[in-house]
Amino acid sequence: MQIDPSPLARPFPAMPAIAGVTLRVARAHYKTWDRCDLTFAELAEGTSVAGVFTRSACASTEVEMGRDDVKNGRARALVVNAGNANAFTGYRGREAVELIRAQVSAALGCGAGEVFVSSTGVIGVPLPKDKAQAGVAAALAAEPCSWEDAAHAIGTTDTFAKGAGASAMIGGTRVELAGIIKGSGMIAPDMATMLGYIFTDADIAPAFLQEALERANAATFSCITVDGDTSTSDTVMVFATGKAANARIDSWDSPGADAFAAALADVCRNLAQLVVRDGEGAAKFITIRVSGAVSDDSARRVGLAIANSPLVKTAIAGEDANWGRVVMAVGKAGEPADRDRLSIAFGGVWAARDGLPVEGYDEAPVAAHLKGEEIDIAVDLGLGDGRATVWTCDLTHGYIAINADYRS
């Protein structure tokens, strides 16, 4: 099955090389396809690492090992397998990951715990050890490749390659960040997995890198949803090689800490939005701004309740300014809300204010807004200062077609 690029796709951006990072790709033939499906990133000695992982209670072996090893804060390599998620494969899946780690650590002369592995694709089938080892050997011998090559190689049912870059000044030193991500194209029986990797030449202590990533994650990857489903393998990692030789950042008081954190959050936000733009069947990109909540976290949960509502998502697909469905979604969020203080706007036009439809509400500009590709919904709860922005896409026949009509 050939899928056209999402109508919301973005071209792959120009991104600089990151000193201390060498990318290579190879064909492991995890599926019967002729494409690179194994990605290998070699990282300079002294690279710091941080990571956030799925909260699924049924996480893959790769996630469990990664979650443990980031605590040591050191990385020398990343291997990403596409086409097989190696999830729900028990001890047989674990063996393959351990072999990959042993092979890479032998080649680089590093500890096995400095080799991070991710896998994405079909679940319930143990990652084939022979294919993985031949793939790693091929990658070790391959010529270095581009960000775009790597972004393609980590993809499964993605319809376009996704990357985002940024830079920041730390003291007088310019540092670069480059990230790639895959996610949101799902075809039965594959999983909806988001795997994102950000690389920087900045010198950052692992504990601070973890803190900055968690803070960025809370406002970006934790604020997107396509269908409310959470993969067993979701992973976002940051690798900092230190080759820019800036004054090392080890706390929020270090010069440049805020600038670096802002650049990291920028990359995360851009990558997160690209995942939504590749949502199955997506025809409209929806931004939901919630204000007036009792806390930022409450605002985020209200936003996600709206973003995950099939009734809201189908209304947007139908270009219908159905604010009644937004009221319903706010009501079911399980967060403090008061019907008589609730206000709702589409494209900046308030349809309801303080619990009542706006008198003389003109639907014409709202109807025009809803015909576009970028939809803006604002909700004010009128209770406090909490706010959050959440991104999602509409729910269309394309989603059903991708997930129900075609079988593997």
Site for a copy of itself in 353-392 (CB under 8 A): 355-357
Q: Which stretch binds a copy of itself (CB under 8 A): 10-18, 35-43, 108-116, 337-345?
A: 337-345
55-114: which residues touch a copy of itself (CB under 8 A)? 55-59, 87-90, 92
State in angstroms the smallest separation of the CB of 287 from a copy of itself: 19
Q: Indicate whether 332 belongs to the interface with a copy of itself (CB under 8 A).
A: yes
Tell which one of 119, 309, 343, 392 touches a copy of itself (CB under 8 A).
309
Residue given tokens 């920028």 in the structure block: 266
Which residues are CB-neighbours of 197 under 8 A, at least 6 positions away?
41, 78, 80, 154, 179, 180, 181, 236, 237, 238, 239
Comparing CB distances to a copy of itself, the nearer of 14 and 408 is 408
Q: Which stretch binds a copy of itself (CB under 8 A): 5-13, 27-35, 267-275, 303-311?
A: 303-311
Closest of 252, 238, 274, 234 to residue 393, by C-alpha: 274
Q: Are 274 and 368 in contact, with CB atoms under 8 Å apart? A: no
State in angstroms the smallest separation of the CB of 26 from a copy of itself: 26
Residue 109 sits at φ, ψ, to 5 deg, of 65, 45
Q: How many CB atoms lie within 10 A of CB 252?
A: 12
Here's the x/- map for a copy of itself, 5-44, by CB under 8 A: it reads as ----------------------------------------
Comparing CB distances to a copy of itself, the nearer of 134 and 218 is 218
Q: Looking at 61, 156, 157, 193, which residue is catalytic? A: 193
Strands (E), 171-321: 173-182, 195-200, 235-240, 285-293
Q: Is the peptide bond before 189 cis (omega within 30 degrees of 0)?
A: yes
Residue 179 sits at φ, ψ, to 5 deg, of -130, 150
Q: Catalytic site residue 47?
A: no
110-129: which residues touch a copy of itself (CB under 8 A)? 122-125
Q: Which stretch binds a copy of itself (CB under 8 A): 2-10, 209-217, 290-298, 320-328?
A: 320-328
Give me Rg for the CA atoms of the chain: 22
C-alpha 297 chain-centroid distance: 19
Tell which one of 328, 350, 369, 384 touches a copy of itself (CB under 8 A).
328
DSSP state of 244: T
DSSP string, 43-76: E-TT-EEEEEE---TT--HHHHHHHHHGGG-B-S
State in angstroms the smallest separation of the CB of 320 from a copy of itself: 5
Show the tokens assigned to 192: 């909806």
State in angstroms the smallest separation of the CB of 366 from a copy of itself: 13
Residue 64 sits at φ, ψ, to 5 deg, of -60, -45
Here's the x/- map for a copy of itself, 177-196, by CB under 8 A: it reads as ---------x-xx-xx----
129-168: which residues touch a copy of itself (CB under 8 A)? none
Q: Look at residue 341 and give its three-state secondary structure.
A: helix
Comparing CB distances to a copy of itself, the nearer of 144 and 228 is 228
Comparing CB distances to a copy of itself, the nearer of 158 and 227 is 227
226-255: which residues touch a copy of itself (CB under 8 A)? 227-232
Residues binding a copy of itself: what is the number (CB under 8 A)? 72
Active-site residue numbers? 193
